[in-house]
Amino acid sequence: MAVLARALNVLALLGIIGVLLFAFYHQVMLGELPCALCLIQRAALIAAGFGFMLNVRFGSSESHYGVVIVSALAGGAVAARQVLQYIVPDFGSSGPELYGWHLYTWTVVLFFGLALLAGVQLFIQAQFFEGVHDLRPTMLSYVASWVFVAVALAHVVSTVLQCAFGPCAGSMVEYELLQK
Amino acid sequence: MMALPFTLLLLAAVVATLGFRRSSELTWLAALGATLYAFYEHAGEALNIAL
């Protein structure tokens, strides 16, 4: 069961990396800059991924799952706030759609799912037994961790380019540092 | 400052990858605080709700 927990942690980390890269693809390839609330949701997603990364790097711990759940709650609140912003029909929307729902609506589902996953994983008691922490991280774990770091670095660079060193405008069409 | 949460999260991830678990958790906590503050700055934007 400890191996199952580890596999789930790696898969969750890879899934979060995939979602962040998908958002990055929309930003870089399609030229759709994220809004301020979208950026905050991405930060919360990285924060949740960090919890899974801790499990992958150091072995499972209740506090690592706590990191995931708290981050998911924060991100879910931000995403729900953005859904509320466009809750009335014909009052506009923000960003692209995927299977009929806007990305921020999917993000609510994603954060709910992450909190649920972390909560369910807490029931796998075998992963917390003494000695399990001595399991050596696999090569995939190392690669996933470093790719996660690279994705986080890419978001730092892109956010600085977009918003410079101040607060971000609600919706932007240009990178602030690349103007002129 | 929108870049602050991302910077702190990057720092937390790097510190964790280097093997410093407790320091990385504390950095995550600071990042979460910065994220919530950024949310606070934007939470008051107008809602398009017709009552």
Per-residue pLDDT, averaged over B23-47, amounts to: 89
* A72 contacts chain B (CB < 8 A): no
Which of B5, B6, B49 has its CB closest to that of A87? Answer: B49
What ranges do the domains of chain B cover?
3-42
Read off the amino acid at residue A5.
A
Instruction: Decide: A14 and A144 in contact? Cβ < 8 Å.
Output: yes
Tokens 């789930």 correspond to what residue? A8
Per-residue pLDDT, averaged over B7-11, amounts to: 96
In this structure, the number of other CB atoms found within 10 A of the CB of residue A173 comes to: 8
Reduce the DSSP state of residue B16 to 3 states and report it: helix
Tell me, what's the pLDDT at A93? 75
Q: Which residues 121-180 of chain A have a CB within 8 Å of chain B?
A: 145-146, 148-149, 152-153, 155-156, 159-160, 162-163, 165-168, 170
Read off the amino acid at residue A154.
A
pLDDT at residue B51 is higher than 60? no
Which chain A residues contact residue B25 at CB under 8 A? 54, 63, 67
At residue B29, what are phi and psi to the nearest 5 degrees?
A: -60, -45
User: Best of B6, B21, B25, B40 to disrupt the A interface by mutation (most A CBs within 10 Å)?
Assistant: B6
- Does the complex come out with an ipTM higher than 0.95? no
Q: What are the angstrom distances between the C-alpha of A60 and each of A19, A25, A95, A102? A: 23, 31, 36, 34
Among B9, B1, B34, which residue's Cα sits nearest to residue A46? B9
Tell me, what's the pLDDT at A134? 57
Provide the whole-model pTM: 0.91
Q: Which domains does chain A have, with CATH numbers?
A: 2-178 (1.20.1550)
pLDDT tens digits, one per residue of A19-59: 999 998 988 888 888 888 999 999 999 999 999 999 998 88
Using CA atoms, how far apart are residues B38 and B24, in angstroms rounded to an integer? 21
Which of A88, A156, A159 has its CB closest to that of B50? Answer: A88
Residues A54, B14: C-beta atoms closer than 8 Å = no
| pLDDT by 10s per residue, chain A, length 180 | 778 888 899 999 999 999 999 998 988 888 888 888 999 999 999 999 999 999 998 888 999 999 999 999 999 999 999 888 888 777 777 777 888 888 889 999 999 999 999 999 999 888 887 655 556 677 888 899 999 999 999 999 999 998 888 777 766 677 877 776
